[in-house]
Every structure is written in C-alpha cells, then in structure tokens.
C-alpha cells in the first residue's frame, strides 16, 4: 500500500512516530497525480510547488514538536495533503467554479475553512473539478473537462463535488472538501466509495465559499473512512464571525465519540424512501445495512416523511431563486470574464454573462429569476418556503421516534459518461434522497455499504441537527459491520500493483 | 390657474449614517479617502464573501426611527433588491422590503406659524452603492467610467413620508426639520453637497378640494434644499399646465436638471424594474429586543421640539425664537453654553437671533468657524448687564469680537467706551448741555416733552454714547424741573 492510498489517521500516526514525512506523503500524492490525473481529470489546478513548501513547513513543525516532546500543537491534519473543491476561495490560487466566467479569477482572500486547514498545517494539493457553480450531479457540467470515476473510467464520479471524490478515491489526495447544496458531497461519495458528509446548516462557515444557494450550502469532508471524516469535520466546524449563519454550538472532538456504544439508539427507516420503484440491488444492500445496524445493537423503527415527494420541486425553486441572485455579482465589471468590445455597460454585463455562463447555469438563473418575479413570487417562491416548513415539521416528527434515519444516498450507481437522461427532470430525480436533508438543515453522511457490479453504493444516514457526534458513531459502526476489506478504487489498486 | 389646484408632495430621503464602519463589513467610512482604499471582499462583492450586520448601524437606524416617532419592529429582516448596475457590486442591494425597522411615525413642521403634522410611512436600513464617475463631460461622451467602492456598504437609512405636503415651501420645511432632527440625534452629518443626504420627491396635482390624488411623478437628482423647492415648483406648474389644458399627467420618473431649472423625462412606468425582492438568506431574521430599544430611547439626545419647549419653559422665550435656536444643533449648543455663564436666556437669545445670525449670514460661515465663543458673548452681555457699557456700544463692539475673537472688556477699555454712570460727572455734562441749548429747554418748559429726547441726544453726543441712558434721563429731568 502506497502512502497516498492510506487514510488521514493512519498517516497522522506515521508522521507522529517519525515513520513518514509530510514531504514523502505529499510526493506520493503528486506522483499519483502524475500517473493517473490524465485518466481521471480530478483537478482544475494542481498547486505542486505550494504543496511541497507546505509539506516542508509541516515537517519542520512536527520536528519541533518532537524535539520538545509536545505534540499538542500538532493536528491529525498537519502535513496531510488535501484537495479543495474549486468553489472554495484560496488566496493567490485561482478559484474557477469550473466556469469560463471565473477561469482567471484569483481571490484576494482565503475562505474561513481554508484558513482553518492552513492553520493546522494541512497541505493543499490543488483545486478540484466540479459541475459549473456546483450545478449538476455528474461533474459533466464543468466548462473545462470531464472527470472520470476511478472505479470505472467510463463512468461519472457524480457531482457536483466529483473532482474531490475522484481525487480521494484515486489517491490523488488523502482527503478533500466538497460542498453540498442538494447532495453534491454525498452522491459523489456514494459513486466513488467514499465517506461524505453534509454537516448541519450553520456547523461550518460558508465565508469564502462561492455561494450557490445560501440557505442550503454547506462545506463538508470527503474521506476514505468515517474516522477521517470526523477529523476533518472537527477541523472546519465552529462559529465564524464572518458568517452570520454559522452557529455558536460548541464543536466536540468527533473522533473521540466514534467508539462509543450504539446500543439503545434507534435507526428510523422512512417508509417513503424505500418505494417500489427502487432498484432491487440497492434495496438489498439497504436491507443488509439495516440488519447490520440492528446486529450492532440499534433498534429499527419505521418513520414517515409524508411531504417528501415535494422536496425536489421545493429544492429547485429555492436553490435556483437564491442562485439567480447569488450569481448576479459575477457581471464582468470587477473580475471574471469580460466580453470584449462591449459598447456600453448594459451590453457589457449582458454579453459577459451570456458568453461565459454554461447552459445549466443559465437554466437555473432563468428558473430562479422567474420564481422571484413579482408575478410568480407567491405561486412559486412563497409556496416553496411554506412547503419547506412542512418538510422541517416532518423531519422533527420523525426524529421524535429515532436518532438517525437510513436510506440510499442515490437511487443508482454511477452512470456512464454522456449517458445521463436527456430530460433534465430525470437527472433532477437523482437527488431525491439528498435534497430533503439540505432543505431541513440536518446533517447526513454517505457511507459505503457494498457494491453492485463492481461499483460502490452508499447508504445515507441522516442525523439530528448539531448531533454529528451520534451520526458519526452510527456511521462508524455501520462501516465496521460492512467490513469492506480493500477500499481502493481499481485505478489506485492497479498503481499499487505496478508499484510493487 | 395655480390657485385652482393643490400640489401633493411626498418625500423620500436617504441619509448616510455616521458609523465608524460599514453596515455589513468592517471597512472604514471616512469621507474623502483615496478611492478604493476602504474596501474588502465583502463590500467589493467578491465571490464567497458574506455580510454581517453592524449592530451600531442598526442602533442608529432605531434611534432615527424613534426620533421620528415611529413604532419599532420587534422582528425584522433584510431583503435583496436585485438589479444590475456597475455601482452595485453584488448585483443586489441589501435593503428592507416589507418589515422596515420603523413605521407609522410623524414629525411636526412649522407651516406659516402653525405646527403641521407630517406622517412618516417608514424608516429602513440599507447599504450605499459605490460611487460612479464618468470620465468626460457627460454620460454620453464618456469613454469610460470609474468606480470608487469606498462608499459601497456605508449604512443608509431611507425615510419615506406620506404624501402630506401641499407646497414646495412645506417640502422644504419638512426637509429642514428632518435634517435638524437627524443632526441632533448625531446619526448623520446630513451634508447634501457631499451626498450624505439625498432626496427624491413624489409630486402630483389635483383640483383644489378634491379628495383624489392626481397621477404621481417621481423626481430624482435633487441635490440641495434650494433644488427641492425649485424642482417641486417647476414640476407642479408643469403638471398644472398639462392638466388644465385637458391633458393627462403620465406616471413616470423625471430628472431634475438644476442648471436648466427643469425636469426631464427619465423613464416610464413600463420601464420600472422588477426588483425580485426576497429575504436575504445570508443575514436571517433579526430580533430587536425591547429593552435595547428602550435603552436607545433613554440615551437619545434631546429632540429639537423638546429642546424648544424647554427653552420656552426655562427662559420664557417666545415659541418662534425657541424653535429657531432649538432646530439648529450649532445654535442650541452655543445658546446653552452662553446661558450657563450669564444666566439670562432671553438676552442670549436676542443676541444669537440678532447680531450672531446677521454676522453669520453676512460672512457666509458656520458658527463653529467664527471666532465667537460662548465665553466672549457672555462677557459682552455681562458688560451690558452690569452697566459698564450700553446696549448700543455693545452692538458696535460685537463685530470686532465676532471677526477677531478679541475680548469685549479689552476692546471697550482700549477704546474708552466704558459707560459713564457716575452721577457727579453726568450732572456736570447735563448742566453744560442745558446751558448750551436755551431754545429746547424753553420748549420743554412750555410742555413740549419731545424736547427731552433732543437733550438726551445732546448728552450722548457729548459723551460719544457712553452716558448711562437711564441715569441721563433721570438727571436731565431733575435738572430741568429744578430750573423751571
Ligand atoms: Zn468592506
């Protein structure tokens, strides 16, 4: 097993013990990038030189700690190479959102989450590909290139955080940050055999994360296992004075909560989620996961989310409405693409936006603009807000009966590149299990629970607001029970063989 | 023709709040800094940047609303007003749509000696846009434009009146009262020339006595109090002309051209924006706790109306004088400091509304820029009160005090202007005058009392005005009666 195929917590042990250096780990990751990136296309930008500098700094930091015999200033993330989705602002490194619009945009500031990772001594390897402005679920909407699924290069990695998922699954990063507005962390995690979490709304600062839908967006970890997820979540969580929606709830040490007993906890199975149309293979894997949780000591209860069928429509109305406003700042005036030779300012703005936004982005801007227009505001936007309130009530009711819920993360395994249904509505239905989580603000994590035809399948565990601790503990026990022996995607495993 | 119609005016005022930092970020707000030096990702509208409400700006907005007798919302929110313009960095302005901080207020405005109540519909908080400057003479010939984002994000309150004003005079009086209140509250410097106070007017006309308002026209680009008056007068006359010649006023927005003294068509109703307001998810609902509002109210500086009433009570000032002083922060501060030294408010008021105002008008400077201080004015008044100089001498000395800041006591001593109150000295001068004017003396004895005035004048002439007038009168009468 190469260093780049190991987990954060394994590498942190090696670093602390002096059995590996951040430089070795970072080089291992960069070597893997050299080897497979042409096949995978996970990155928009690889920050090789900066990564090596940061690795060097991390090694010095660890050396000083060792000399003093005091590792209190060392985090499990110190010296660990991580990737960032390219909608997370990085000072001095372009942040494109995989859009022509921001192809040359270099932010003058770091997102709060980036600052936190840097402070801990993490190594930033690069910025990952995504659906343009996080709108999509295959990463095919990137303006730059497709990203391939390390488990099957003919298939998509999911999206919109597909680049982050592919990078981690292929050993091109040890862990990554994604963003999740309607499933954009969990669905690619499911497609690529990773653990991916959308934290409670407000758990993680959104400052410096290019907004898609402000009331739904959250940043979260994409990792090889649950323990890594706990480590990264603790690192990025907590109140940020620059984000008025970030919560002052204290941040527990999630890693230390993993081993606790799950006995006496109840897992809810939403009746509506396991509908008859569900793929039988996925259904079997879900039943298996529920059984495993039961064997681990959890009670199983049937719960109901009666308004669940409306979640998709509500999601598209609210997210598009907010997006239409959030993307208005990208007008070609101060930064980003500017149409050449425009004769006046209105033409400048109109042409810049027409020429540089991709079709999916334009579709959502139009949908959102329509939903907010004074003529349609009541029938669309206001109605969507009311329905959102009903969904929140459903969620509260359901959580009266259980401590977490389980369902598939996605109704399918990764589909083939270019094979997504022509009908956008059918693609939207891929988000059927994930959007309700963002609309209600609660946390959820996708955990690998098996495979179908060699392709990973994730189970989604949904938790109570700000109780990521319990959620991760249950996820950890599911992960143990599933006991997937080799988590490496074939691309990584092949390199492993080549390396021997 | 004009008198057959009634003008109906409503006014919308935007005032920049004088907070140290901007409303949604920590940038400074100082006026006149190098362009684009007081900016950050938030007020530049960078991708990913988020607004955080400056509590001080909210406090100033609440204070403003309280001063205008508004009810304060206990829950409010911010909404996005979406439109594209280069001076609007985010493509939307953070404003307030249906839950303004203050609503249903009023102020009293002096209209021909009567206090008229003008209702305030709403007071809300929003953010200022960037400053857009066209390179070139005008927007048409400009080859490019420059943007200064120092101004973007400065807190702004919008104060919307009901259409309660019925003339250009009333509109001007309303604005001037509003300004005096805002200055007294310390929430804004209200400088129209620097753009920290701006106004828009809604104007319609209707046949006198009608209950139904005419079609409303919005007037923009009004940059001074004088312009408000002229613009409303012009626009009212234009509308009356249209209506009385059988036409209909169009619902439109017009632009005031101050140089030409005219309003010009800007955009029609059909071109009005759909701003697609919706609650800003980055800020969430805002709860305004009652105890906080109470505290702001308790700590609020005295309002001009209350101050005027206090002057009437404490110093027995006439209403008009009291409100004239109270409405001006400069004058009232000066008045109170002077009163604290001399303890005669009526006298101080007489000076301030007389000589002081006249000198300010003549020199065109602000009171704070003049060399006059409350201590100097108090000294001058005390010289009169203690009989050291006459009121007339005091007035002649005032100009020098005002212009040069010299102490009145020094001036009168150096110029030998101290009043003669010594009876012996006055008697000898009076005797001299009586001896020199047998004609008028005879007249006086013949019952023509007017001759007394002439003789007093002669004493004054003899003493270059320094004779104590009361004493002179008394001694002169005694002396004349003795010789009768
Ligand atoms: Zn700023």
Annotate A357-371 with b (16+ C-beta within 10 A) or e (fewer): bbebbeebbebbbbb
User: Mind telling me how many Å the CA of B178 is from chain A's nearest CA?
Assistant: 33
Average pLDDT over residues A28-44: 97
Q: Which of A422-426, A488-492, B28-32, B398-402 bottoms out in mean pLDDT, i.e. has the lowest? A: A422-426
Is-contact B127 B80, C-beta < 8 A? no
Q: Which of B5-9, B286-290, B449-453 bottoms out in mean pLDDT, i.e. has the lowest? A: B449-453
Least CA distance to A321: which residue of chain B? B278
* Residue in A245, A329, A333 closest to B284 by CB: A245
Residues in CB range of A69: below 8 A, 6 or more apart = none
- pLDDT at A323 exceeding the cut of 50: yes
The active-site residue out of A22, A75, A85, A464 is A85
Task: Indicate the pLDDT class of residue A500, thresholds 50, 70 and 90.
Answer: very low
Residues B278, A321: C-beta atoms closer than 8 Å = yes
Predicted pLDDT at B138: 63
Question: How far apart are alpha carbons B333 and B312 in whole angstroms?
Answer: 16
Distance from the alpha carbon of residue B30 to the mean position of ligand 1, in angstroms: 12
User: Mind telling me how many Å the CA of B34 is from chain A's nearest CA?
Assistant: 18
- Distance spanning both ends of chain B, measured CA to CA: 69
- pLDDT at B228 exceeding the cut of 70: yes
The two tokens of residue A380 are 């669309």
* Test the A interface: residue of B21, B24, B53, B278 with most A CBs within 10 Å: B278
Q: Using a CB-CB distance cutoff of 8 angstroms, which residues of chain B are in contact with residue A105?
A: 47
Predicted pLDDT at B436: 87
Residues A207, B44: C-beta atoms closer than 8 Å = no
Least CA distance to A373: which residue of chain B? B276
Residues A209, B48: C-beta atoms closer than 8 Å = yes
User: Mind telling me how many Å the CA of A409 is from chain B's nearest CA?
Assistant: 27
The two tokens of residue A69 are 């015999």
Is-contact A461 A478, C-beta < 8 A? yes
* Pairing mode, strands A81-85 and A123-128: parallel
Least CA distance to B26: which residue of chain A? A242
Residues A374, B52: C-beta atoms closer than 8 Å = no
Least CA distance to B79: which residue of chain A? A325
Question: How far apart are alpha carbons B137 and B164 in whole angstroms?
Answer: 38
Predicted pLDDT at A273: 77
Least CA distance to A89: which residue of chain B? B48
* Residue in B46, B80, B280 closest to A107 by CB: B46
Among A290, A298, A266, A300, smallest CA distance to A402 is for A266
Question: How far apart are alpha carbons A164 and A236 in whole angstroms?
Answer: 16
Among A245, A224, A249, A244, smallest CA distance to A234 is for A249
Task: Indicate the pLDDT class of residue A153, thresholds 50, 70 and 90.
Answer: very high
Is A85 an active-site residue? yes
φ/ψ of residue B451, rounded to 5: -65, -25
Among A33, A79, A34, smallest CA distance to A52 is for A79
Q: If DSSP codes are grouped into helix, strand and coil, which group holds residue B254?
A: strand
Please report which residue ranges of B106-224 form alpha helices under DSSP H.
168-185
Q: Which of A208-212, A325-329, B385-389 bottoms out in mean pLDDT, i.e. has the lowest? A: B385-389
Question: How far apart are alpha carbons A216 and A234 in whole angstroms?
Answer: 20
Distance from the alpha carbon of residue B40 to the mean position of ligand 1, in angstroms: 4
Distance from the alpha carbon of residue A361 to the mean position of ligand 1, in angstroms: 28
pLDDT digit string (tens) for A47-88?
999 999 999 999 999 999 999 999 999 999 999 999 999 999
φ/ψ of residue A128, rounded to 5: -100, 155
Residues in CB range of A122: below 8 A, 6 or more apart = A54, A58, A75, A77, A78, A79, A80, A81, A82, A235
Average pLDDT over residues B165-190: 95
Residues with CB under 5 A from ligand 1 (ion): B 25, 27, 40, 42-43
* Pairing mode, strands B92-95 and B79-82: antiparallel
Q: If DSSP codes are grouped into helix, strand and coil, which group holds residue A237?
A: strand
Distance from the alpha carbon of residue B21 to the mean position of ligand 1, in angstroms: 8
* Test the B interface: residue of A325, A332, A339, A353 with most B CBs within 10 Å: A325
Q: Using a CB-CB distance cutoff of 8 angstroms, which residues of chain B are in contact with residue A243?
A: 50, 52
The larger pLDDT score, comparing residue A342 to residue A356, is at A356
- A3-260+474-482 falls under which CATH superfamily? Amidase signature (AS) domain (3.90.1300.10)
Least CA distance to A210: which residue of chain B? B48
Size of interface A-B (CB pairs under 8 A): 108
Instruction: Decide which of 3.40.50.11890, 1.10.630.10, 1.10.10.410, 2.102.10.10 is the CATH code for B423-482.
Output: 1.10.10.410
How far is CA B54 from its chain centroid? 28
Least CA distance to A109: which residue of chain B? B41
φ/ψ of residue A220, rounded to 5: -155, 165
- pLDDT at A196 exceeding the cut of 90: yes
Using an 8 Å CB-CB cutoff, list residues of chain B that contact chain A. Answer: 41, 44-53, 80, 82, 84-86, 89-92, 145, 147, 274, 276-278, 280-284
Task: Indicate the pLDDT class of residue B225, thresholds 50, 70 and 90.
Answer: confident
Is-contact B43 B33, C-beta < 8 A? no
How far is CA B349 from its chain centroid? 18
Predicted pLDDT at B386: 83
Distance from the alpha carbon of residue A95 to the mean position of ligand 1, in angstroms: 21
Among B418, B410, B405, B394, smallest CA distance to B342 is for B394
User: Mind telling me how many Å the CA of A95 is from chain B's nearest CA?
Assistant: 9
Residues in CB range of B99: below 8 A, 6 or more apart = B73, B75, B76, B77
The helix (H) or strand (E) run that includes residue B146 is: strand B144-148
Question: How far apart are alpha carbons A54 and A59 in whole angstroms?
Answer: 9
Predicted pLDDT at A57: 98
Predicted pLDDT at B137: 63
Question: How far apart are alpha carbons B280 and A368 in whole angstroms?
Answer: 14
Predicted pLDDT at B426: 85
Q: Which of A57-66, A467-476, B77-86, B424-433 bottoms out in mean pLDDT, i.e. has the lowest? A: B424-433
Is A99 an active-site residue? no
- pLDDT at B178 exceeding the cut of 80: yes
Query: How many Cβ atoms from other residues are within 10 Å of residue B257's Cβ?
Result: 14
Give the distance between the most distant pair of CA atoms in chain A: 70
* Residue in A102, A331, A373 closest to B274 by CB: A373
Residues B50, A107: C-beta atoms closer than 8 Å = no
Residues of chain B with CATH 1.10.10.410: 423-482
- HEC string of A309-369? HHHHHHHHHHHHHHHHHHHHHCCCCCCCCCCCCCCCHHHHHHHHHHHHCCHHHHHHHHHHH
Is A256 an active-site residue? no
Question: How far apart are alpha carbons A342 and A352 in whole angstroms?
Answer: 9
Q: If DSSP codes are grouped into helix, strand and coil, which group holds residue B122?
A: strand
Q: Using a CB-CB distance cutoff of 8 angstroms, which residues of chain A are in contact with residue B80?
A: 325
- In the sheet that holds B262-268, the strands lie side by side as B71-72, B102-111, B114-127, B155-161, B5-16, B197-207, B217-222, B252-257, B262-268
Task: Indicate the pLDDT class of residue A499, thresholds 50, 70 and 90.
Answer: very low
* Residue in B52, B145, B278 closest to A242 by CB: B52
- pLDDT at B385 exceeding the cut of 90: no
Q: Which of B63-77, B103-117, B385-399 bottoms out in mean pLDDT, i.e. has the lowest? A: B385-399
Q: If DSSP codes are grouped into helix, strand and coil, which group holds residue B302?
A: coil
The two tokens of residue B407 are 């102490």
Distance from the alpha carbon of residue B23 to the mean position of ligand 1, in angstroms: 9
Give me chain B's average pLDDT, please.
92
Residues in CB range of A383: below 8 A, 6 or more apart = A317
Q: Which residue has the tokens 């009212």?
A: B236
Is-contact A126 A163, C-beta < 8 A? no
Distance from the alpha carbon of residue B440 to the mean position of ligand 1, in angstroms: 82
Bond preceding residue A160 cis, omega within 30 of 0: yes
Question: How far apart are alpha carbons B146 and B35 in whole angstroms?
Answer: 10
User: Mind telling me how many Å the CA of A130 is from chain B's nearest CA?
Assistant: 16
Task: Indicate the pLDDT class of residue B337, thresholds 50, 70 and 90.
Answer: very high
Among A408, A448, A434, smallest CA distance to A159 is for A434
Residues in CB range of B439: below 8 A, 6 or more apart = none
Residues B282, A329: C-beta atoms closer than 8 Å = no
Give the sign of the dihedral formed by CA B255, CA B256, CA B258, CA B264.
positive
Task: Indicate the pLDDT class of residue A442, thresholds 50, 70 and 90.
Answer: very high
Residues B276, A374: C-beta atoms closer than 8 Å = yes
The two tokens of residue A257 are 């909560």
> To the nearest whole percent, how much of chain A has pLDDT over 90?
89
Among B63, B55, B175, smallest CA distance to B110 is for B175
Least CA distance to B83: which residue of chain A? A328
* Test the A interface: residue of B43, B276, B280 with most A CBs within 10 Å: B276
pLDDT digit string (tens) for A224-245?
999 999 999 999 999 999 999 9
* Pairing mode, strands A195-198 and A444-452: antiparallel
- Provide the ipTM: 0.95
Predicted pLDDT at A224: 97
Among A408, A205, A437, smallest CA distance to A314 is for A437
Predicted pLDDT at A430: 79
Q: Using a CB-CB distance cutoff of 8 angstroms, which residues of chain B are in contact with residue A324?
A: 82, 276
Is-contact A77 A19, C-beta < 8 A? no
Task: Indicate the pLDDT class of residue B139, thresholds 50, 70 and 90.
Answer: low
Q: If DSSP codes are grouped into helix, strand and coil, which group holds residue A250?
A: coil
The residue ranges of every structural domain in chain A are 3-260+474-482
User: Mind telling me how many Å the CA of B208 is from chain A's nearest CA?
Assistant: 36
Residues A245, B282: C-beta atoms closer than 8 Å = yes
Task: Indicate the pLDDT class of residue A8, thresholds 50, 70 and 90.
Answer: very high
Predicted pLDDT at B27: 98
Predicted pLDDT at B1: 65
Is-contact A47 A18, C-beta < 8 A? no
* Residue in A109, A111, A328 closest to B82 by CB: A328
């Amino acid at each position: 097993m190469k260093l780049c195929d190991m987990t954060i917590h394994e590498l942190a042990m090696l670093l602390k013990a002096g059995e590996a250096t951040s430089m070795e780990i970072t080089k291992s990751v960069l070597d893997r990038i050299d080897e497979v990136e042409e096949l995978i296309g996970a990155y928009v930008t690889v920050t090789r030189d900066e990564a090596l500098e940061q690795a060097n700094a991390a090694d010095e930091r660890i050396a000083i700690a060792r000399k003093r015999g005091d590792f209190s200033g060392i985090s499990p993330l110190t010296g660990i190479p991580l990737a960032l989705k390219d909608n997370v602002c990085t000072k001095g490194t372009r942040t494109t959102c995989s859009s022509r619009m921001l192809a040359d945009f270099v932010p003058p500031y770091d997102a709060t989450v980036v600052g936190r990772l840097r402070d801990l001594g993490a190594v930033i390897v690069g910025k990952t590909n995504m659906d343009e402005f996080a709108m999509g679920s295959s990463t095919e909407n990137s303006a730059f290139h497709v990203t391939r699924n390390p488990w099957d290069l003919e298939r998509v990695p999911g999206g919109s955080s597909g680049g982050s998922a592919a990078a981690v699954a292929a050993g091109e990063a040890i862990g990554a940050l994604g963003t999740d507005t309607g499933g954009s962390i969990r669905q690619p995690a499911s497609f690529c055999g990773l653990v991916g979490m959308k934290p409670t709304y407000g758990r993680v600062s959104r400052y410096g994360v290019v907004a898609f839908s402000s009331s739904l967006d959250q940043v979260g970890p994409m990792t090889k296992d649950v323990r890594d997820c706990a480590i990264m979540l603790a690192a990025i969580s907590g109140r940020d004075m620059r984000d008025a929606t970030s919560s002052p709830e204290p941040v527990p040490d999630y890693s230390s909560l993993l081993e606790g007993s799950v006995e006496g906890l109840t897992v809810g199975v939403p009746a509506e989620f396991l509908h008859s149309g569900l793929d039988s293979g996925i259904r079997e894997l879900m039943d298996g996961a529920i059984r495993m949780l039961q064997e681990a000591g959890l009670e199983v209860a049937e719960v109901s989310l009666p308004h669940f069928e409306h979640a998709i429509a509500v999601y598209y109305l609210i997210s598009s409405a907010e997006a239409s406003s959030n993307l208005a700042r990208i007008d070609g005036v101060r930064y980003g693409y500017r149409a050449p030779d425009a004769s006046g300012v209105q033409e400048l703005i109109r042409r810049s936006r027409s020429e540089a936004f991709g079709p999916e982005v334009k579709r959502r801007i139009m949908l959102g603009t329509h939903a907010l227009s004074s003529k349609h505001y009541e029938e669309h936007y206001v109605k969507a807000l009311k329905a959102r309130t009903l969904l929140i009530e459903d969620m509260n009711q359901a959580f009266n009966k259980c401590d977490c819920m389980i369902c598939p993360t996605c109704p399918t395994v990764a589909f083939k590149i270019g094979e997504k249904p022509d009908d956008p509505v059918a693609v939207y239905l891929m988000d059927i299990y994930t959007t309700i989580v963002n609309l209600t603000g609660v946390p959820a994590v996708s955990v690998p629970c098996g495979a179908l035809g060699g392709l990973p399948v994730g189970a989604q565990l949904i938790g109570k607001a700000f109780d990521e601790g319990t959620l991760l503990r249950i996820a950890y026990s599911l992960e143990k029970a599933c006991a997937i022996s080799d988590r490496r995607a074939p691309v990584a495993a092949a390199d492993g063989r080549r390396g021997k | 023709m004009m008198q057959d119609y009634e003008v109906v005016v409503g006014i919308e005022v935007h005032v920049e709040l004088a907070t140290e930092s901007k409303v949604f970020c920590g940038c400074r707000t100082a006026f006149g800094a190098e362009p684009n030096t007081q900016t950050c990702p938030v007020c530049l509208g960078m991708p990913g940047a988020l607004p955080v409400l400056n509590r001080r700006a909210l406090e100033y907005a609440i204070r403003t609303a309280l001063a205008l007798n508004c009810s304060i919302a206990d829950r409010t929110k911010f909404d996005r007003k979406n439109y594209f313009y280069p001076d609007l960095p985010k493509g939307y302005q953070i404003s307030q749509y249906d839950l303004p901080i203050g609503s249903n207020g009023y102020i009293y405005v002096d209209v021909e000696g009567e206090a008229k109540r003008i209702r305030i519909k709403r007071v809300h908080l929003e953010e200022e846009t960037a400053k857009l400057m066209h390179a070139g003479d005008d927007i048409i010939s400009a080859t490019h434009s420059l943007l200064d984002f120092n101004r973007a994000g400065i807190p702004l309150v919008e104060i919307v009146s009901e259409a309660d004003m019925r003339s250009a005079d009333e509109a001007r009086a309303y604005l001037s009262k509003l300004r005096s209140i805002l200055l007294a509250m310390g929430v804004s410097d209200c400088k129209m020339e620097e753009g920290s106070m701006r106004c828009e007017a809604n104007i319609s006309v209707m046949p006198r006595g009608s209950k139904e308002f005419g079609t409303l026209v919005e007037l923009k680009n009004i940059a001074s109090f004088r312009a408000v008056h002229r613009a409303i007068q012009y626009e009212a006359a234009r509308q009356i002309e249209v209506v009385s010649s059988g036409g209909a006023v169009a619902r439109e927005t017009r632009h005031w051209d101050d140089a030409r003294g005219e309003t010009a068509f800007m955009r029609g109703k059909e071109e009005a924006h759909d701003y697609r307001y919706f609650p800003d998810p980055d800020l969430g609902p805002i709860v305004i706790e009652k105890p906080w509002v109470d505290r702001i109210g308790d700590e609020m500086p005295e309002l001009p109306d209350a101050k005027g009433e206090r002057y009437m009570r404490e110093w027995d000032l006439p209403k008009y004088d009291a409100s004239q002083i109270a409405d001006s922060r400069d004058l009232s501060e000066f008045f109170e400091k002077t009163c604290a030294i001399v303890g005669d408010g009526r006298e101080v008021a007489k000076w301030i509304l007389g000589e002081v105002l006249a000198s300010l008008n003549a020199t065109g400077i602000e009171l704070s820029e003049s060399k006059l201080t409350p201590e100097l004015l108090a000294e001058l008044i005390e010289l009169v009160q203690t009989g050291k100089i006459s009121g007339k001498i005091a007035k002649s000395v005032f100009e020098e005090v005002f212009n040069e800041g010299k102490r009145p006591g020094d001036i009168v001593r150096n110029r030998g202007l101290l009043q003669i109150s010594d009876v012996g000295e006055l008697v000898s001068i009076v005797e001299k005058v009586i001896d020199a004017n047998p004609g008028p003396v005879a007249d006086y004895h013949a019952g023509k009392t007017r001759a007394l005035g002439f003789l007093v004048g002669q004493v004054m002439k003899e003493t270059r005005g320094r004779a104590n007038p009361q004493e002179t009168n008394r001694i002169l009468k005694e002396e004349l009666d003795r010789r009768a």
